[in-house]
Structure 1
């Protein structure tokens, strides 16, 4: 059984703003060049356990700057 992440908020954003931010994220993910699943795993691990970024990088065979991004 898996649980989802829920965050309720109300933000007065225009479609233009959302499109702009989505485009920035798409470009950033292409620059990182990691599969989305690996990115998600690293993000969850960092948020949950607060490991050193160098440890996360070494354990995933990527550079520390990629984890930082």
Structure 2
């Protein structure tokens, strides 16, 4: 169990490093925050080590649901 936890932690750290190297973190701070920006950041972190095999996950346009007017 300890080994699995260490592997998952290393996988997510690799994803965070990929986010920084890709410049996705700069997009969050330098532009208007959007659903797509945060989704791309999250997908890149979860993809972890796959980012270094030319697998660049991206999310298209996403829209947050709006509350119904009452």
Q: Quick one: higher RCO (CA 8 Å, sep 6+), 1 or 2?
A: 2
Fold conserved (TM > 0.5)?
no
TM-score by length of 2: 0.36
